[in-house]
Amino acid sequence: MILACDDRGTGPVVVLIHGFPLDRSMWAAQVEALARDHRVIAPDLRGIGDSPMADGVFDVDTLADDVNETLDSLGVAGQAVVGGLSMGGYVAFSFLARHGARVRGLVLLNTRAGGDSPAAAEGREKLAAELEAKDSVEPVVQAMIPKLFAPKTFAELPELVEAVRERALRLNPRALASTLRGLAIRPDRTGMLGSIRVPTLIIGGADDQVIPRDEICAMANGISGAEVRIIPDAGHLTPIEASETVNKHLSMFLSRMDA
């Protein structure tokens, strides 16, 4: 499937894959900053935002293949730095496993290599069924918004929280249900970490309730030469909560790669 995306700037290609329950707008600050000297491509995954809907379970391999097809359709010939936040990171791992020749660098933000525990997978199925039964994204918004931000963001930047909530409320409940079912069956990528040979930047939030810093650091330890940055006072959505700091780390990483 060819995805809707932001495609800005010229230069070495950077692909940014959004998390759940978000869309490509979560990367607005990164697209703006990086497009000064890169071509930045940020897709909406299937069923999300402006991308087409489809039947079936949206497993991470299918999502990675969509990204690959989209890059083909945009005429991206060479390699790209591939980045993803949380679910976007799971998709980036699949992209690396399936289309590795296309990857010159990885950026893993607030994500993990492990798969779901049986309890987590069951929780996703329950939530997916609720979304379908109510034909509403409210259950996801209620379950997730309180976990996505650091206490400091809730206290000092409520407008950011509100903007994410509003975007989430516009998503398609059927697409979110299909995505949740796909996330529940994603493979455990821990065994792949030791074979990653491309430069890798890992970013976490010191106050991330979804993926705690210990898990981020364990993943970083598994990837040879990975650079890890834990951002103080940021939660699960570092590119939104700490956009300037994330942009600084991304720019430094990319300029070292481009040098």
Q: Which residues bind ligand MLT (CB under 6 A)?
A: 19-20, 86-87, 183, 210, 236
Nearest one of 191, 102, 206 to 151, comparing CA atoms = 206
Nearer to ligand MLT by Cβ, of 97 and 210: the residue is 210
Provide the minimum distance between the beta carbon of 187 and ligand MLT in the complex, in angstroms, as a whole number.
Answer: 13
Provide the minimum distance between the beta carbon of 197 and ligand MLT in the complex, in angstroms, as a whole number.
Answer: 26
Provide the minimum distance between the beta carbon of 144 and ligand MLT in the complex, in angstroms, as a whole number.
Answer: 7
Nearer to ligand MLT by Cβ, of 88 and 199: the residue is 88
Q: Is 209 buried (19+), middle (13-18) or exposed (0-12) by CB count in 10 A?
A: middle
Q: Kindly give, in sequence order, each residue whose CB lies less than 8 Å from that of residue 8, ignoring residues fewer than 6 positions away.
A: 31, 35, 39, 40
Nearer to ligand MLT by Cβ, of 157 and 210: the residue is 210
Report the side by side order of strands in the sheet with 227-231: 5-8, 39-43, 13-17, 80-85, 103-109, 200-205, 227-231
Provide the minimum distance between the beta carbon of 11 and ligand MLT in the complex, in angstroms, as a whole number.
Answer: 28
DSSP 23: -
